Amino acid sequence: MYNLTIAHLYPEQMNIYGDRGNIITLRQRCAWREITTTLIPVMPGSSIDWQSVDLAFFGGGQDSGQALIAADFVEHQAEPLRRAAETGMVLLAICGGYQLLGHYFLTHTGEKLPGIGLLDVHTVGSTQRLIGNLLIEANWGTGRQTLVGFENHSGGTFLGKGVKPLGKVLAGHGNNGKDGSEGAVWQNVIGCYMHGSLLPKNPHFADHLLELALQRRYGSSTILSPLDDQLELAAHSTMVERLQR
């Protein structure tokens, strides 16, 4: 029997627009396959054995929530989390969590929140909000696939040479509303702006993350058994069709 250890970074401060649903989805899709999961909440000041973590999730929050945990994240989690990511730990970060994985977030008021530099990105705030449903074309595994979500951010994120975008914006704004990119990927670390929550709307992406985590823990031949995602994919397709009109 397989077991996955999942870490949830700052669940009280960084949980906006249903982001906690991503944890629920990951655990439920494991449970349907009789894969057990151990959930570790990462609170301010927590001491975590990141090498034992298979998959981590870092949700979004308002600027005030980010400010509350930014220093703790850099001081207590940055280096051990970085070492785990370098050995293939899977990490999904959304919006505020995504921004704090970068070099810094410069708010529209001029406050500079430090990131940990795990992703080669930086974010610059403005008074304009990028808000609405988001549709992208991403490329992983078997080829191009669509992802849908909801974005609401005033920060524009710009990618450096050390990352590649998660996908190309088909509808919505994405990273910054200018260059047509959404998200950033380095190794098994993925940042994006897709709330909603993301994984219930995109079961194929949830399984992609789970397979990466299982393959790191149990070997490259580990493949998930299929589930009946007829309803989930029908909802996904409805949103794709609506946004492509």
Tens of pLDDT, residues 122-133: 999 999 999 999
Backbone angles phi, psi at 42, to 5 degrees: -100, 105
Cβ atoms 152, 130 nearer than 8 A = yes
Range of the domain at 168: 3-243
Q: What is the pLDDT of residue 17?
A: 82
Q: Please tell me the pTM assigned to this model.
A: 0.96
Tokens 């669509």 found at: 146
CA 131 and chain centroid, separation:
18
- Alpha-carbon distance values, 140 to 164, 173, 185, 208, 245 (Å): 12, 21, 11, 8, 25
Domain count, the chain: 1
Binding residue ranges: 129
Instruction: For residue 23, name the pLDDT band (cuts at 50, 70, 90).
Output: very high
Q: Which of 76, 122, 195, 208 is catalytic?
A: 195
How far apart are alpha carbons 26 and 56 in whole angstroms?
11
Q: What is the pLDDT of residue 142?
A: 67
How far apart are alpha carbons 36 and 33 in whole angstroms?
9
Q: What is the pLDDT of residue 113?
A: 82
- Alpha-carbon distance values, 146 to 42, 183, 231 (Å): 31, 13, 16
153 C-beta neighbours (distance < 10 Å), count? 24
pLDDT tens, 179-226?
Answer: 999 999 999 999 999 998 899 999 999 999 999 999 999 998 888 999
Structure tokens at 71: 């220093």
Cβ atoms 126, 106 nearer than 8 A = no
Element (H, E) at 235: helix 230-243
* 30 flagged as catalytic: no
Q: How far apart are the first and last CA of the chain?
A: 45
Binding residue ranges for substrate: 129
- Alpha-carbon distance values, 22 to 8, 157, 167, 206, 209 (Å): 10, 22, 19, 8, 11
Backbone angles phi, psi at 62, to 5 degrees: -70, 165
Q: What is the pLDDT of residue 245?
A: 84
Q: Which of 8, 30, 76, 95 is catalytic?
A: 95
Mean pLDDT computed over 36-53: 96
- Residue 29, exposed/middle/buried by CB under 10 A (0-12, 13-18, 19+)? buried
Q: What is the pLDDT of residue 206?
A: 97
Q: What is the pLDDT of residue 64?
A: 64
Instruction: For residue 6, name the pLDDT band (cuts at 50, 70, 90).
Output: very high
Does 146 have pLDDT greater than 80? yes
Query: For residue 84, what is the domain's CATH number?
Result: 3.40.50.880
Does 152 have pLDDT greater than 70? yes
pLDDT tens, 57-85?
Answer: 999 877 666 777 888 999 999 999 999 99
Backbone angles phi, psi at 203, to 5 degrees: -60, -30
% of the chain beyond a pLDDT of 70: 98
